[in-house]
């Protein structure tokens, strides 16, 4: 792979020259009134390769200010959150971001610059910098997330008033979602196949994306602006975090390119890749690329990734195709980005035109048991513990726990599960996270709610010995394999020998799966019928009436479930 090798060597082996080192050692370079100064505003896109905003900022400029803003909204510690981190992000994602910023700073220093870090509300900080630095050109990667859409609109308005050029290219995705939506008559395509048909081939695919500039102009005089280096976790207030294990995946462009090369060196694996056939229990060597967090933060260009895959496809006899192929996964990413950008309120059930209105349960105890890995189903709990510790799990593992929370067993609102993933995943991506939760709860995109992941047999199929469970739930490490997925069925003598008494050392199951899954199917059938009858216009009153009816219908079976749960426990004593 000629292009992959050239980029890897440029990025990892490029040593700073004496001139570049001198430039990077001091950012205080006096500007003249006639100088052309530009800002590159980093949010995602934390890379040097394939960064059109950075390259445009460097073109015709005397000084370029690469800026990142530490946003308290995402970064300030929140002592009241259910896990260590801020109000919006767990410590694993914060740590991954800081590592990515350090690597970006290193990459910029190699080409004669450095990263200037500020702290504050991003819009306020950017407008202040534009005022203070005599900026002629503001460059930043286009962002479809509603949070940044609002900030960008404000910054662009100010820039327009002041005669500052704004350059905001689409480089985080393969396609521009606005173009796809326009082609579809103003609405996003809601099936993968219709998206592919509309999108066609990316316009840039025939020419190699940039490996990045060999040099850029340095920052100029920053005056009295309060800039800093990339902060440490301790400097952000996370010095006493009660987390004993962090994600094994380190952030940054360098790590992304190393991992990409490692994955794509196995050309046969790339050619045969089929997403549904991965092993969700493989954790020491995950059965996937683990490139999603690098794509999320833009440490890796999805366009570059796509071209690398295409290069391999040209040189193999046959390969898999979308939707299951490796490049098919990048297209899924664009599909969800487009759907999210073109669908108002896609991050909630109410007011979301593509979402089924379903009277989900409001059971805080069951939800907390799921969130904290205490459901009594080892396969589900081990996955959730991996999420807490690593900030990552295999996509099929995500499917299992999302199904269990919503349509499979607990019938709890997908928004609550979405919030947990949004906080804890290092690759949490607003568009993809919401799209997947809508899909997996059968609220949109996918409607075969009778197809349920078993919290017992699915994991056992991949890992009959339960090694994944033993690693993330050490309380069960000595449980014989015939009981590892259903420890409540182990005789009391076996539990004693395994040093794990069910109900004491490890919880019994919070629901009886067979009964609970049947009940979920019944509820969804009625909810779907209501949505059909109302032609998608289900009112809050309609949902309240259906919820009451479902609860009344469930009263007698509920007692039976309670007795069955108790029997599951007592039979093992």
Q: Is 333 annotated as a binding residue?
A: yes
User: Does the CA dihedral 179-184-190-191 come out positive or negative?
Assistant: negative
Q: Is 25 annotated as a binding residue?
A: no
Q: Is 428 annotated as a binding residue?
A: yes
Where does 454-539 have alpha helices with state H?
457-462, 467-472, 492-497, 513-533
Q: Is 132 annotated as a binding residue?
A: no
Q: Is 343 annotated as a binding residue?
A: no
Q: Is 331 annotated as a binding residue?
A: yes
Which residue, 394, 333, 12, is CA-closest to 172?
Answer: 333
What is the reported pTM?
0.90
The span from the CA of 73 to the CA of 87, in Å, is: 8
Q: Is 290 annotated as a binding residue?
A: yes
β-pairing, 63-70 vs 165-167, is unpaired
In the prediction, which pLDDT does 568 show?
55
Mean pLDDT score, 431-445: 98
CA geometry: angle at 233 spanning 252 and 13, to 5°?
25
pLDDT band at 567; cut points 50, 70, 90: low
Model pLDDT for residues 138-170, shown as the tens digit of each residue: 999 999 999 999 999 999 999 999 999 999 999
Q: Output DSSP code: residue 226.
A: -
The answer to whether 103 and 68 are in contact (CB under 8 A) is: no
- Phi/psi of residue 104, nearest 5 degrees: -65, -45
137's enclosing H/E stretch is strand 135-140
- Phi/psi of residue 313, nearest 5 degrees: -60, -35
Mean pLDDT score, 242-252: 84
Model pLDDT for residues 386-399, shown as the tens digit of each residue: 999 999 999 999 99
Q: Is 439 annotated as a binding residue?
A: no
492's enclosing H/E stretch is helix 492-497
Q: Is 291 annotated as a binding residue?
A: yes
Q: Is 334 annotated as a binding residue?
A: yes
The answer to whether 63 and 163 are in contact (CB under 8 A) is: no
The span from the CA of 248 to the CA of 255, in Å, is: 12
In the chain, % of residues over pLDDT 90: 83
Q: Is 288 annotated as a binding residue?
A: yes
The span from the CA of 64 to the CA of 73, in Å, is: 27
Model pLDDT for residues 454-486, shown as the tens digit of each residue: 999 999 999 999 999 999 999 999 999 999 999
With a cut of 60, say whether residue 573 has pLDDT above it: no
CB neighbours of residue 516 within 10 Å: 22
In the prediction, which pLDDT does 300 show?
98
Q: Is 316 annotated as a binding residue?
A: no
Which residue, 367, 395, 365, 401, is CA-closest to 383?
Answer: 401
Q: Is 109 annotated as a binding residue?
A: no
Residue matched to tokens 């316009």 = 203
With a cut of 80, say whether residue 199 has pLDDT above it: yes
The span from the CA of 505 to the CA of 511, in Å, is: 18
Is the preceding omega at residue 323 within 30 degrees of 0, hence cis?
yes
pLDDT band at 8; cut points 50, 70, 90: very low
Token readout for 84 is 């260590």
In the prediction, which pLDDT does 30 show?
40
Q: What does pLDDT average to over the chain?
A: 91
Which residue, 294, 285, 293, 292, is CA-closest to 266?
Answer: 285
pLDDT band at 198; cut points 50, 70, 90: very high
Which residue, 334, 301, 340, is CA-closest to 7?
Answer: 301
CA dihedral 358, 359, 365, 367 (to 10 degrees): 10
The span from the CA of 81 to the CA of 184, in Å, is: 41
pLDDT band at 566; cut points 50, 70, 90: low
Which residue, 151, 143, 197, is CA-closest to 171?
Answer: 143
Q: Is 463 annotated as a binding residue?
A: no
The span from the CA of 349 to the CA of 247, in Å, is: 31
């Amino acid at each position: 792979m000629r292009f992959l090798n050239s980029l890897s060597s440029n990025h990892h082996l490029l040593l700073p020259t004496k001139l570049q080192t001198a430039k990077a050692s001091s950012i205080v370079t006096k500007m003249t009134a006639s100088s052309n100064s530009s800002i590159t505003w980093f949010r995602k896109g934390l890379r040097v390769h394939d960064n059109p905003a950075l390259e445009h900022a460097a073109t015709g400029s005397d000084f370029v200010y690469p800026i990142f803003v530490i946003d308290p909204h995402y970064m300030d510690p929140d002592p009241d959150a259910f896990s260590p981190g801020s109000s919006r992000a767990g410590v694993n994602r914060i740590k991954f971001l800081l590592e990515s910023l350090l690597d970006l700073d290193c990459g910029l220093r190699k080409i004669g610059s450095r990263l200037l870090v500020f702290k504050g509300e991003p819009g306020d900080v950017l407008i202040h910098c534009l005022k203070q630095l005599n900026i002629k050109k503001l460059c930043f990667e286009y962002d479809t997330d509603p949070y940044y859409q609002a900030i960008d609109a404000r910054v662009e308005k100010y820039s327009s008033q002041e005669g500052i050029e704004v350059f905001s290219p689409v480089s985080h995705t393969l396609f521009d979602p606005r173009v796809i939506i326009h082609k579809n008559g103003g609405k996003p395509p809601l099936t993968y196949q219709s998206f592919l048909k509309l999108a066609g081939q990316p316009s840039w695919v025939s020419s190699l994306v940039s490996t990045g500039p060999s040099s850029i102009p340095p920052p100029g005089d920053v005056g009295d602006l309060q800039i800093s280096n990339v902060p440490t976790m301790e400097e952000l207030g996370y010095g006493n975090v009660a987390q004993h294990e962090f994600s094994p995946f380190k952030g940054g462009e360098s790590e992304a390119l190393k991992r990409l090369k490692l994955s794509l060196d196995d050309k046969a694996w790339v050619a045969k890749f089929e997403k549904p056939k991965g092993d969700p229990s493989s954790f020491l060597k995950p059965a996937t690329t683990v490139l999603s967090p690098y794509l999320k933060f833009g440490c890796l260009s999805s366009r570059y990734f796509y071209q690398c895959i295409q290069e391999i496809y040209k040189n193999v006899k046959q390969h898999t195709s979308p939707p299951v192929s490796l490049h098919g996964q990048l297209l899924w990413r664009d599909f969800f980005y487009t759907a999210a950008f073109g669908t108002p309120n896609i991050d909630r059930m109410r007011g979301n035109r593509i979402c089924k209105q379903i009277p989900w349960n409001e059971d805080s105890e069951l939800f907390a048991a799921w969130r904290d890995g205490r459901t009594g189903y080892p396969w589900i709990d081990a996955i959730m513990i991996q999420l807490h510790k690593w900030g990552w799990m295999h996509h099929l593992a995500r499917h299992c726990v999302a199904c269990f929370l919503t349509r499979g067993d607990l019938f709890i609102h997908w928004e609550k599960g979405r919030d947990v993933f949004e906080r804890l995943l290092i690759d949490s991506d607003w568009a993809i996270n919401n799209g997947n939760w809508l899909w997996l709860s059968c609220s949109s995109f996918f409607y075969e709610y009778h197809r349920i992941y078993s919290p017992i047999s699915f994991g056992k199929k991949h890992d009959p010995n339960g090694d994944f469970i033993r690693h993330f739930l050490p309380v069960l490490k000595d449980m014989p394999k015939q009981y590892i997925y259903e420890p409540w069925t182990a005789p009391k003598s076996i539990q004693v020998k395994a040093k794990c008494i069910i109900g004491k050392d490890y919880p019994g199951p919070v629901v009886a799966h067979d009964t609970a899954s049947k009940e979920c199917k019944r509820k969804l059938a009625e909810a779907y019928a209501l949505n059909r009858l109302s032609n998608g216009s289900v009112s809050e009153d309609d949902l309240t009436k259906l919820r009451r009816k479902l609860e009344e219908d469930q009263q007698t079976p509920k007692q039976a479930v309670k007795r069955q749960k108790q029997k599951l426990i007592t039979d093992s004593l």
